[in-house]
Amino acid sequence: GRELGLAMKYLYVTAPYSDLVNYSFEEIQDFASHGLFLYNTLERVKELPEEMFLNYILDHRVNEEEVLPCRSFFWNELKDRIEGKNAKDAAIEVNYWCAEEATYHSGDDRTLPALTVYRRGYGRCGEESVFLVNALRSVGIPARQVYVPRWSHCDDNHAWVELWCDGKWYFTGACEPLMILNKGWFTNASSRAMMIHSRVFDTKIPEGEVIGTDGMVTMLNELKRYAVTKEITVTVKDAQGLPTEGAEVSFEVLNYSEYAPIAEKKTDSKGTARLTTGLGSLHISARMCS
């Protein structure tokens, strides 16, 4: 009872405010109960760092999708297929299952929840990755969605999945299984990206470079795992040449005939903002907050 109470407290504290009114106690409890089941059943889950368990297994949310309880259902579908497998092999097997259940279909509506992708049998890349993340979390493998807000070499964007095992993050295409991790059709494209980010809902931010926030969501820079990077420093000064603190600096790439932001930062007391990015071209703008 106490463990369930703590799990529910975590989910309610870190959830977007809209979740508190849109979803019932029982719906959120389904995620908490299954997370505790995994913690008490699987030794590899119990051995995880606390923040890894809380953010990437217990958490009910991946992106902006509707929250539909699905974890215990996915677990029952997958438990026999991953029996006896280590985390890495289990993750590959889970992705094969996801590929059997869903295929790619483009769309521009709100991101479908994992259970709807399963029922319909299709989804765009963001929805396929929400599906795979939930399936991985359902079997006790920490997972998150990563996202290229805009490609820097062509018009469009893309999302895929990172999973944690053997003490580090690996990546894979969602519903695009290969026999090994850290490989996908987008591997070369991602090596040319200027930004790849993950999202975290916790108020305690995991270690990493913050590149922006959206309400209760914090975006973390994951580019170093994919591309050759460099750190750039931007200094903002006022008309008198003095450093400007608190200016919003927008780092943008040309995509779909517009400058689209890939990261947004505020200047420090020295008027500087730093970003780790790729070796391509950036359009940078700065403005004072009103």
Percent of the chain with pLDDT over 90: 81
| 182, pLDDT greater than 90 | yes
List, for residues 114-152, the tens digit of each pLDDT value: 988 888 887 888 899 999 999 999 999 999 999 998 888
Per residue in 221-276, pLDDT (tens digit) is 999 999 999 999 999 999 999 999 999 999 999 999 999 999 999 999 999 999 99
- Our CA dihedral for 113, 119, 122, 126, rounded to 10 degrees, sits at 10
The Cα–Cα gap between 280 and 276 comes to: 12
Across all residues in the chain, what is the average pLDDT? 93
Answer for the pair 217, 264: CB distance below 8 angstroms, yes or no.
Answer: no
Beta bridge partners of 199: 219
Model pLDDT, residue 110:
67
β-strand pairing of 103-104 with 168-172 = unpaired
Q: Enumerate residues 6+ apart whose C-beta is below 8 A from 92.
A: 172, 177, 178, 179, 180, 181
pLDDT for 155 equals 79
Residue position matching structure tokens 């053997």: 166
| Per-residue pLDDT at 69 | 96
pLDDT of residue 161: 98
Task: Give the integer Cα–Cα distance in Å for 39 and 45.
Answer: 5
The model's pLDDT over 143-157, given as tens digits with 9 standing for 90+, comes to 999 999 888 888 788
pLDDT digits (tens, 9 = 90+) for 66-101: 999 999 999 999 999 999 999 999 999 999 999 999
Question: By the 8 A CB rule, do 101 and 83 touch?
Answer: no
Q: Please name which of 201, 190, 129, 192 lies closest in space to residue 159, comparing C-alpha atoms.
A: 129
